[in-house]
Structure 1
Amino acid sequence: MVNALAVLVGAGLGLLLGHRLPDRTRDLVTDALGLVTLLIAALSARSVLDPVLSEYVGPSAPVLIVLGSLLLGGIAGSLLRLEQRVEAIGGRLQQLLSRGSDSADRHRFIEGFVTASLVFCTGPLTILGSLNDGLGNGAEQLFLKSALDLFASMAFAAAFGWGVAASVLTVVVVQGSLTLVGMALGDVLPDPHLAAITAVGGLLLVGVALRLLRIREVAVADLLPALLVAPALVSLVATLR
């Protein structure tokens, strides 16, 4: 709930500021956010070098596990058309929450909703923070994430508009579900599995950064199943080793 409130407050401040900024300034804000997202992605992807993971699956396996996770997860996500479904959700929300908007406004709303949802819900703090909260280990990681999301939502809303505020629904559903999973399952993910998930999440954030920098429209939502495939591959490789 703290994270959801931070997103709403940040989006509101970004909307107030965004109308006073020229388009070139909004583009620059988006570029800056893309660069920072790329930095966070690189720091997360470094988990592929975590000694705990290497000792568990072997020194040559971590990169192959990440590769296999992205390939298998991407195939599954593409067959399930996750990217299209996420965009469709954004379109429905835009139709329900706004009237008289043109196609440009609709595209801007959807882009803001999709991009913000992916940034807020695919990072390692989302998974680790929510699980730790559910396990009763405290919510410090989620509080840190909330502070980061506050500033990120300000930048997103200034660039994309109030579609960013709608992403709070995704935050509540995804992080709330992960917290409930943590409460129900307990501490079932060992450190090697978490390291693999963090590394895969970092590469997903690279895809988000490429979208923000307008380099390539990577279908990041289609790659989300890779976060589930990664721990399964870690267990498989460790068993076969």
Structure 2
Amino acid sequence: MIGIGTIINALAIGGGAVIGLLIKNGIPERIKTTIMQAIGLAVFVIGLSGSLKEIFQVAAGGYLETRFTILMIICLVLGGIIGELLRIEERLANLGDWLQKRFSRQDGDLVRGFVTASLVYCVGAMAVVGALEDGLTGNINILLSKSLLDGITAVVFGASLGAGVALSALPVLLYQGAITLLAGTVKTLLTATVISQTSLLGGVLIMSIGLNLLEITEIKIGNLLPAIFLPVLIDLLRLILPVF
């Protein structure tokens, strides 16, 4: 069912927040570190498997051949340039800082917990890529991994920021759900090739998230987000300009 990944994600946040409210003292730091490393490995493997599935195909002779490699490089480079010019990563960070300052003036932990958690769960590449993948292909593996991450974070936030964290499940449901529904609507207009190319680029970005979670790299994934949409643009240009 389309959107089930986002529903699971929202439930994980709500459930994690409730657990955090109950245990109060949160998760010991050493256990939290190990869990985050384990999830980072899992996220990397999911991204890797998704990329390999799209980039390799069985040729007529029964051997493997690669596809979309040049397009992948072009989309990542152009997408990165667009993202840097638009300063997507920086603007997302600034938005988060502004919202936190704006609402930190308000009394009570409810609003503070709600805003902080909502930003963490919504402002990121995993929310966009996972919701797109759900809508375009029905694959919810990325959102399942995000659910584990968000659920664990919700336990920590719930213990320190209070009940407002549980309410952040609502904007996640609306935000990711809207992306999934939009992707599910437009996929009928896209060719199977374009969907595969989009999934390939999404897998590469998910691999990057895994590497960042493992603290191996500090890739500005937000600035690479435009790359996901470039296969659609290229396909449109091919229709408009047959020589393209």
TM-score normalised according to structure 1 size: 0.71
Change over 3 Å in CA distance of 1:60–1:71 after alignment to 2: same
Moved more, 214-223 or 228-237: 228-237
Change over 3 Å in CA distance of 1:75–1:25 after alignment to 2: same
Asked whether the 8 Å contact 2:17–2:155 carries over to 1, the reply is no
Moved more, 198-207 or 113-122: 113-122
Asked whether the 8 Å contact 1:19–1:158 carries over to 2, the reply is no
Pairing partner for 1:176 from 178, 183, 186:
178
Asked whether the 8 Å contact 2:13–2:151 carries over to 1, the reply is no
Pairing partner for 2:125 from 118, 121, 125:
118
Q: Which amino acid aligns with 1:92?
A: W
Moved more, 35-44 or 146-155: 146-155
Percent of pairs with identical residues? 22
Would you say 1:86 and 2:81 are equivalent positions? no
Q: Which residue of 1 aligns with 2:135?
A: 130
Q: Which residue of 2 aligns with 1:216?
A: 217
Q: Which amino acid aligns with 1:38?
A: F
Q: Which residue of 2 aligns with 1:150?
A: 147
Q: Which amino acid aligns with 2:150?
A: S
Q: State the secondary structure of the residue aligned to 2:31.
A: helix
How much has 1:36 moved relative to structure 2? 0.8
Q: Which residue of 2 aligns with 1:72?
A: 78
Q: How far, CA to CA, are the matches of 1:121 and 1:73 in structure 2? A: 15
Q: Which amino acid aligns with 2:231?
A: A
Q: Which residue of 2 aligns with 1:5?
A: 10
Asked whether the 8 Å contact 1:211–1:217 carries over to 2, the reply is yes
Q: State the secondary structure of the residue aligned to 1:72.
A: helix
Change over 3 Å in CA distance of 1:114–1:210 after alignment to 2: farther
User: 5 Å matches for 1:87-102?
Assistant: 87-98=93-104
Moved more, 208-217 or 59-68: 59-68
Asked whether the 8 Å contact 1:69–1:226 carries over to 2, the reply is yes
Asked whether the 8 Å contact 1:44–1:202 carries over to 2, the reply is yes
Q: How far, CA to CA, are the matches of 2:15 and 2:243 in structure 1? A: 48
Structure 2: where are the runs of 5+ without partners? 1-5, 59-64
User: 5 Å matches for 1:13-92?
Assistant: 13=18, 15-16=20-21, 19-51=25-57, 62-92=68-98
Q: Which residue of 2 aligns with 1:135?
A: none
Number of positions where the alignment pairs a residue of Structure 1 with one of Structure 2 = 220
Give the number of the structure whose alpha-carbon radius of gyration is greater.
Answer: 2
How much has 1:181 moved relative to structure 2? 5.2
Q: Which residue of 2 aligns with 1:136?
A: none
Q: Which residue of 2 aligns with 1:196?
A: 197
Asked whether the 8 Å contact 2:205–2:221 carries over to 1, the reply is yes
Q: How far, CA to CA, are the matches of 1:170 and 1:98 in structure 2? A: 21
Q: How far, CA to CA, are the matches of 2:203 and 2:134 in structure 1? A: 15
How much has 1:191 moved relative to structure 2? 1.2
Q: How far, CA to CA, are the matches of 2:201 and 2:19 in structure 1? A: 30
Change over 3 Å in CA distance of 1:205–1:181 after alignment to 2: closer
Asked whether the 8 Å contact 1:47–1:198 carries over to 2, the reply is no
Asked whether the 8 Å contact 1:48–1:63 carries over to 2, the reply is no
How much has 1:178 moved relative to structure 2? 4.3
How much has 1:226 moved relative to structure 2? 0.4
Q: How far, CA to CA, are the matches of 1:121 and 1:172 in structure 2? A: 12
TM-score normalised according to structure 2 size: 0.70
Q: How far, CA to CA, are the matches of 2:243 and 2:66 in structure 1? A: 14
How much has 1:200 moved relative to structure 2? 0.5
Q: Which residue of 1 aligns with 2:61?
A: none
